[in-house]
Amino acid sequence: MAGVNEDPPPIVPSKSFELWTDIGLVIRSDAYRLRAVEWLSQAVKIPTETYDDMGPVGGDDRWDAFGPFHDYLRAAFPLVHSNLELTAVNTYGIVFVWNGSDDTKKPLLLAGHQDVVPVDLATVDDWVHPPYSGYYDGQRIWGRGASDDKNGLISILASVETLLEASFEPTRTIVLAFGFDEESSGEEGARKLGVELQRRYGKGGFSMIVDEGDGFGEKFGTTFAIPAIAEKGYLDVKIEVTTPGGHSSLPPAHTSIGILAALLVELENKPHPMRLERRSPVFLTLQCLADHAEELPVSLRDSIKHASHSEEALLDLERQLAADKLYSSLIGTTQSVTMIEGGVKANALPEHAWALINHRISTESSVEETIVYDADTLRLLAKAFNLTYITFGADATEQGTGSSGTLILSDAWSTALEPAPVTPIDQEPSPYALLAGTIKATYKFHRNLTGGNIAVSPGILAGNTDTQSYWKLSECIFRYNHQDSSNGDMAGLHTVNEYITVDGYMEMIQFFVTLILNMDESTLP
């Protein structure tokens, strides 16, 4: 398949080669480095936390935290604000449009998010530097958002500001879209941004979309960059058990909490079946590993290569990967018991208990298949405990004689999400090849390399990004942060001691400059 086993060459702009080189030298300068540090450090100092229970914008004061952040961006990036068209969507969503001179070319959409996950106050003392200090120690910038995702947002704005300072005028329109609740639901931010962008540009109106995602790092002795061409689906299943109450001195054989515990054990003991299919993004990643990973075990390399044409080898590879926590979680539908609650008093029988099962749904599966599997897995236990069984709002219930309680399965927050459409990578001309070539060119230029030294592979993102609201805008969506996971830049995501190395951050700016210039000259529609 074109663009997968082949190793796309680095791509650098030709018409703007001198400009690209000059800007690269500017980005490497000490003066620019300090300026860029200030951009990100000051952004990190402004807490923009979002929570799962936030109400609509205008009805919840916690959204007001984004006002100071917008004020800061206006001051930090004056040329972006004076040269690009700015639209506020639902107050805090940001759309910048840098109009190009050729209306026949579809725009490039660069996305990111302004919000960060909250800092657990109980962990503040565990931080090397305070979480909203934006502290610069000469090598790293510390704080919440330094690596997720203010580094991406600020890198995009820095690249545009720097190109404007160099008097660059785009041929292809460039659109920047920054949501503000990606870490909670995206309902107030990206969902409304997606509607606005579709209103302006129509379905399929963008040539390519690049949002945050995994970066690059060493795998089996070779450095791989893995832009995600798909995302897994999402479903939170709420399991509720209700039983008669009473005094704890006269207990039944099983309380609602005991029944719930048995149900959870049953689910954990029967995980969703994992199946590896050749068309899956994970199989494409494995193919690239087999072709380019220098230290991949010979037996695994042979299994991957044989699996491309042998059913027996494919099943054998599937069995091998099932034992690997990382690959099994990427391939299959996962389940995690993440929340539980029940009971109100030590001497009172609990009348109600519930738990939450978080699923990340395989690209080869669906929300419906996940729902059916969970319901079928618990059916026999519901009967054994003589519970009236109600599954996902179904009109029909299953009830034993003299039911001793109720078992209800439901979509907890009505936020079920199907797996994302898979971005095609074998088109001609190929957006994937352009992105891969840009990654390689950035990596080599930043390190003054002349050889290869990095391979690019399509992959999958286990989590979800704001792109879930942009599916209708383009069939070519990539989730990728040009960020080095091997140097620890991504180790503090959603936990203590989040940071980014300044060298890695400077390379991100170079990546976006290169991508903008390459897209501007490309023959992509």
Catalytic residues, which ones?
115, 182
DSSP single-letter state for residue 413: S
Report d(CA 368, CA 486) in Å as an integer.
37
Peptide bond into 149 cis (omega under 30): yes
Distances (CA, A) of 156 to 340, 353, 366: 40, 47, 34
Secondary structure letter of residue 125 according to DSSP: G
Short-list 432, 507, 506, 516, CA closest to 96:
516
- DSSP track, 136-153: B-SSEEESTTTTTTHHHH
How many Å from the N-terminal Cα to the C-terminal Cα in the chain? Answer: 22
Nearest to residue 365, comparing CAs of 408, 416, 325, 323? Answer: 416
| Residue 361: count of CB within 10 angstroms of its CB | 23
Neighbours of 345 (CB within 10 A): 8
CA-based R_g, the chain, Å: 25
CA–CA distances in Å: residue 325 to residues 41, 203, 304, 321, 322: 35, 38, 18, 8, 7
How far apart CA 276 and CA 274 sit, in angstroms, is 7
Q: Tokens for 243, please give them.
A: 């039983």
* Residue 434, phi then psi, degrees to nearest 5: -65, -45
Task: Take residue 101 and report the two structure tokens written for it.
Answer: 């001179």
Helix (H, G, I), strand (E, B) or coil at 262: helix
Give the contacts of 345 (CB within 8 A, at least 6 positions apart): none
Return the H-helix or E-strand segment holding 353. strand 352-361
* Beta strand ranges found along 114-221 (DSSP E): 140-142, 174-179, 208-219
- Beta carbons within 10 angstroms of residue 89's beta carbon: 22
- Name the E strands within 91-146: 93-98, 108-113, 140-142
